Structure 1
Amino acid sequence: MQSHRNPTRRNRNIGTAKQGHGEANQLVIPDQLNRPYWLSRVGDCRVEEHTIGGWMIRFVIEANALGCVHPSTVPDVLRVLEALPQSDWAGLRTIVFRQPTRKQLILRPAWGRLLYDTTVAKANGETLAVGPVICLDAVQVDKVMVWSTSLDPDLSQELERLRSDGHDVQRSGRKFSISINAASARNTQLYRTLLHEIGHWFDWLSKVEEPSAKGGDRDALERAYFARPKSEREAFAHRYADTQRAILETRGIIPFDQS
């Protein structure tokens, strides 16, 4: 029986992603020692130590590169921490002002994040801190972020938060252009991101640290904490940040000029 297949006809998938074309050239952030990129060792940096209410806080400040700046300063962060209940951030002893790599800026730009348990070390292996860490990333100011207009509810809310922080948000066709400047970046990172990450830590204290200190099974508590939907954990941190920001604004503590 004669086959109807024409061997000279080109497979429509040849040279496309369906057959793996371009996989070897994909821009990815390499892991170091099988750790996520945000746990990689810090580069050229300086270390400062400050005391708040008898608690010593260590700041690790990486040198800037790639046109980035640290929107917030150490005095800025100290002023916010001093205004918050110390019980909300008990156990947090390290703040890292990170300098992202070029690939991280392209693929995973972030204002900051909380690491529940990590080791911060220099390239030569010198350990700078161990335990929970809040990272605040350097950003490229005078940069335009482009978002699609097809946003889910969470991203729509984030867009409104960015607008309220002072970023210039413009719509053109099916894209949003978000222009960042030094002042708007500071508003986002200092008055929202920092409070948001402390909100995550306060959540962790309430659901893991405090119950385990009273005799609870720590492993089970940790599993239960991370088993919660990410949306639930993010919603808690957003509520905490919104509440504390409103309180600090009412008390006239924020906003304040950069130190």
Structure 2
Amino acid sequence: MPNHRRPTKRNRNAGTKKSGFKRQSPFTIPAENQLPFYENLNLQATVQKKINGKRVTFLVEKLTSGYSYACTIDDLCRVLTYCPVEDLTGLSLFILRQPKKKETILSPCWGRFVYEFNYQGTVQPAIIIEAVNPAKEIVVKVSDVSLFFQRELDQLGKEGHEIRRIGKKVMVKSSLQSVRSTQLYRTVLHEVGHHVQTKRAVGSYLEKEVFADNYAKQIRALIPDE
């Protein structure tokens, strides 16, 4: 019998789930031990300090090759002393954290405020400051630069970061000194502002961000330049 099969004819399953299309694992930040990714810590040290008479815990995670912490614990303590005592009430946990590779791609940040961080069985607010690799440029793909984003780029430029635009990409080249300037005098104080706003009636996401930005600017104005 003649073979009616046509090898050049397209398989009807090509490009569908039946042929395996999109069956690969999703590119997401993996969960470990059923904990949020930022709670999985590989601790190197735990340090106790006093800020404005209050005991504060600093958790320091081990660094991987090429990464560094731009801020020291003493740096953070010095800046936090300029925050009113009542603003730090209930906030006694700070973490210097090493981000994983996928996190630097999917959820990059200088730092973050966590409303409920589980540490040693106690759920409490915490501020996380991320380690950085100055050898790696931050690449942001944008179709259009909004006014808000342009202001952020301008601020990063003032803090010593090198900003380049290539087509639809924005490249940010940082040094440890420029990251220190950003994290120490803006990120940390911004996250403290988020803690303060939990005690006040602050509404939408945008309003919360504006409140935290203004709080950081107010406290920064109190801190003498180095």
Counterpart AA for 1:27: F
What SS class does the counterpart of residue 69 from structure 1 fall into?
coil
Q: Does structure 2 retain, via aligned residues, the 8 Å contact 1:143–1:181?
A: no
Does the alignment pair 1:96 with 2:100?
no
1:53 equivalent in structure 2: 52
Counterpart CA distance in 2 for 1:47 and 1:102 is: 24
2:187 to 189, 193, 200: 193
TM-score if structure 1 supplies the norm length? 0.75
Counterpart AA for 1:247: L
Distance apart, 1:27 and its partner CA: 2.3
Segments of 5+ residues of structure 1 without an aligned counterpart are: 1-7, 121-126, 208-224
Counterpart AA for 1:237: A
Distance apart, 1:20 and its partner CA: 7.9
What SS class does the counterpart of residue 58 from structure 1 fall into?
strand
Counterpart AA for 1:155: F
Q: Does structure 2 retain, via aligned residues, the 8 Å contact 1:97–1:138?
A: yes
1:31 equivalent in structure 2: 31
1:119 equivalent in structure 2: 118
Root-mean-square deviation (CA, aligned residues, Å) is: 2.4
Identity %: 32
2:169 to 163, 167, 175: 175
Segments of 5+ residues of structure 2 without an aligned counterpart are: 1-8
Determine which structure has the larger helix proportion and give its number: 1
Q: Deviations over 1:88-125 (max 9, x none)?
A: 221111101011112212221111111112213xxxxx
Does the alignment pair 1:154 with 2:140?
no
Q: Deviations over 1:225-251 (max 9, x none)?
A: 6xx432221111111112222232xxx
1:86 equivalent in structure 2: 85
Counterpart CA distance in 2 for 1:235 and 1:173 is: 30
Counterpart CA distance in 2 for 1:163 and 1:10 is: 54
Distance apart, 1:131 and its partner CA: 1.0
Q: Does structure 1 retain, via aligned residues, the 8 Å contact 2:42–2:62?
A: yes
Counterpart CA distance in 1 for 2:14 and 2:217 is: 51
Comparing 160-169 and 69-78, the one that deviates more: 160-169
Q: Does structure 2 retain, via aligned residues, the 8 Å contact 1:66–1:102?
A: no
Distance apart, 1:23 and its partner CA: 4.9
Counterpart CA distance in 2 for 1:142 and 1:16 is: 40
Map of 1:1-259 to 2, 5 A cutoff? 8=9, 14-15=14-15, 21-38=21-38, 40-120=39-119, 127=120, 130-149=123-142, 150-207=144-201, 228-248=203-223, 252=224, 254=225, 256=226
